[in-house]
């Protein structure tokens, strides 16, 4: 797959702010991959595609997810969560991505899940800490990402779950399972 043609396609599908976010996530993911011994090429691919469906109409996303028999529970949650699952399908169907690890990294970048691969965690972390993000505690998350992927993933999922609970927002079960797994690990 040509990186250049994916970037051209992203530019068409995303408003400039989101497009720039994707480029920053990609750079962050490549740096983390290099630092922690993950394939830079696969990190780049997963990062480029992670938000490809972010600006799809909710009705079109619903159709796509239903047609592909995606997790029904996802559709009962806010459509903000749907773009990750829709992105996986688009990467597969429109761009011919077949690598299951890359597809899972796209699929679980918003919720996390129990049993994430290193690449999945790396994309989740890069999405949260890319240089354009700014929220209380982000420097600690960036430092954790320097230390290790597992350390950082634990801090990131704790941050995300707390953020939702703070706002009395629903937490998707995959995120709770991800949280439980990380806080139970010694």
How crowded is residue 42: how many other Cβ atoms within 10 Å of its Cβ?
18
127 binds Fe ion (CB under 5 A): yes
Q: Give dist(CA 73, CA 143) in Å, integer.
A: 34
51 binds Fe ion (CB under 5 A): yes
Comparison of 56 and 149: residue with beta carbon closer to Fe ion? 56
130 binds Fe ion (CB under 5 A): no
Q: Give dist(CA 182, CA 186) in Å, integer.
A: 9
Give the shortest CB-83-to-Fe ion separation in angstroms.
6
Number of residues that bind Fe ion (CB under 5 A): 2
Residue 152: name the closest of 173, 135, 176, 127 by CA: 127
- Binding window for Fe ion (CB under 5 A); candidates: 55-63, 125-133, 142-150, 159-167: 125-133
120 binds Fe ion (CB under 5 A): no
Q: Which of residues 71-100 bind Fe ion (CB under 5 A)?
A: none
Give the shortest CB-146-to-Fe ion separation in angstroms.
21
Q: What is the largest CA-CA distance in the chain?
A: 45
């Amino acid at each position: 797959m040509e990186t250049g043609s994916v970037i051209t396609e992203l530019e068409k599908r995303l408003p400039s702010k989101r497009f720039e976010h994707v480029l920053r996530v990609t750079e962050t993911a490549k740096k983390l991959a290099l630092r922690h011994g993950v394939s830079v090429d696969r990190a780049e691919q997963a990062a480029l595609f992670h938000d490809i469906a972010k600006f799809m109409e909710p009705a079109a996303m619903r159709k796509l997810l239903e047609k592909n028999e995606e997790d029904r529970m996802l559709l009962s949650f806010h459509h903000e969560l749907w773009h990750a699952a829709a992105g996986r399908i688009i990467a597969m169907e429109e761009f011919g991505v077949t690598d299951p690890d890359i597809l899972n990294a796209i699929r679980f970048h918003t919720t996390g899940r129990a049993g994430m691969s290193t690449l999945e965690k790396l994309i989740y972390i890069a999405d949260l800490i890319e240089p354009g993000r700014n929220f209380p505690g982000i420097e600690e998350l960036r430092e954790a990402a320097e230390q290790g992927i597992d350390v950082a993933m634990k801090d990131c999922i704790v941050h995300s779950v707390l953020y939702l609970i703070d706002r009395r927002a629903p937490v998707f079960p995959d995120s709770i399972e991800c949280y439980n797994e990380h806080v139970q690990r010694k």
